[in-house]
Copies of this chain bind each other. A is one copy, B any other.
Amino acid sequence: MRLSIDVRLDYGITGSADVLLQIEAAAMADQRIVDEALTIWSESPIRAVPGEDGIGQRCWARGHGRLVAHYRATVDVSREKVDLHRYPATPPRMLPGELTAYLLPSRYCQSDRLEGFVLREFAGLTGGPLASALSAWVTDSLDYRMGTSSGETTALDTFASRAGVCRDYAHLLVALARAGGIPARCVSAYAPGVDPPDFHAVAELWLDGGWRLVDATGMASCGDVARVCIGRDATDIAFMTVFGQAQLYEQVVRVTAVDQSDH
């Protein structure tokens, strides 16, 4: 599927501040960047560095009073639908070493606190069948509702409140998967079906040798999600991190599926 992405950020900056942006779709085997343009009005040169684990890239800018960024891209996503259920389990001790961090708890995905629940409610399941059951459980157990969570909401909070937005769905699924011995990471992404239109967040679970993208909100299907960056949780994948103080003026995210029948 071809996605057309158009993002505009306009923030006020108190004094001057270094700003880290993660808004570019990542060039990867299953998502090809057809064309893109990133424009940042910064008071000093923009600097690009690799994203977490070398996926995608981050941009450093310097805001003085204000920071305006505009990103526009066309991305071709070709990713097969994932059938989580069919993947065999890999015991933690047999996992590739670079996955270790994605087995461990993190600030917003406190998997260690949810082990009891996973062991009790999903006893006997491992690998794909466990992943599939956890994903279905998150989808069924949460209500998608704006305003029920904030930037400080953790997987544990969502587990209790049973409501949240995409970020909360991703955090909870990631935490539950790790609690069940499945490496899991959070993904910032663009997807056309997100309502209201915004940056999207999904989970990736490592099963049978690869990362499997799962959107427990059901808003996006695997085939129409363009990853921006990945990480342990929201800390790593924030679209903007300000090393100082900022306030929102305007933020617009538009992602549309392009009809390619004419091509």
Interface size on A, residues (CB 8 A): 53
Q: Which of A62-101 contact B (CB under 8 A)?
A: 62, 91-94, 96-98, 100-101
**A100-B181 CB under 8 A given contacts A143-B120, A235-B105, A235-B106:** no
Contact of A100 among B20, B114, B141 (CB under 8 A): B20
What distance in Å separates the Cβ of A17 from its nearest Cβ neighbour in chain B?
A: 9
Q: CB-nearest residue of chain B relative to A44?
A: B93
Chain B neighbourhood of A195, CB < 8 A: none
Interface status of A167 (Cβ within 8 A of chain B) = no
Contact status B20-A92, CB under 8 Å: yes
Chain B neighbourhood of A49, CB < 8 A: 96-98, 100
Chain B neighbourhood of A61, CB < 8 A: 93
Counting every copy of the chain, the complex holds: 4
Interface status of A132 (Cβ within 8 A of chain B) = no
- In angstroms, Cα B116 to Cα A104, docked, is 27
Chain B neighbourhood of A162, CB < 8 A: 116-117, 119-121
Q: Mark A5-30, 1 if CB is under 8 A from B, else 0.
A: 00000000000001110000000000
Contact status A93-B18, CB under 8 Å: yes
What distance in Å separates the Cβ of A3 from its nearest Cβ neighbour in chain B?
A: 26
- In angstroms, Cα B113 to Cα A148, docked, is 10
- In angstroms, Cα B16 to Cα A91, docked, is 12
Contact status B107-A160, CB under 8 Å: no
Q: Which of A31-39, A151-159, A198-206, A208-216 contacts B (4 or more CB under 8 A)?
A: A151-159
Chain A residues with a Cβ under 8 A of chain B: 18-20, 44, 47, 49-50, 52, 58, 60-62, 91-94, 96-98, 100-101, 103-107, 110, 113-117, 119-121, 141, 143, 148, 150, 152, 156-157, 159-163, 181, 231, 235-236, 241, 243
Having A116-B161, A150-B150, one finds 7 other A-B pairs with CB under 8 Å, namely A18-B91, A18-B181, A52-B100, A62-B93, A116-B160, A116-B163, A119-B162
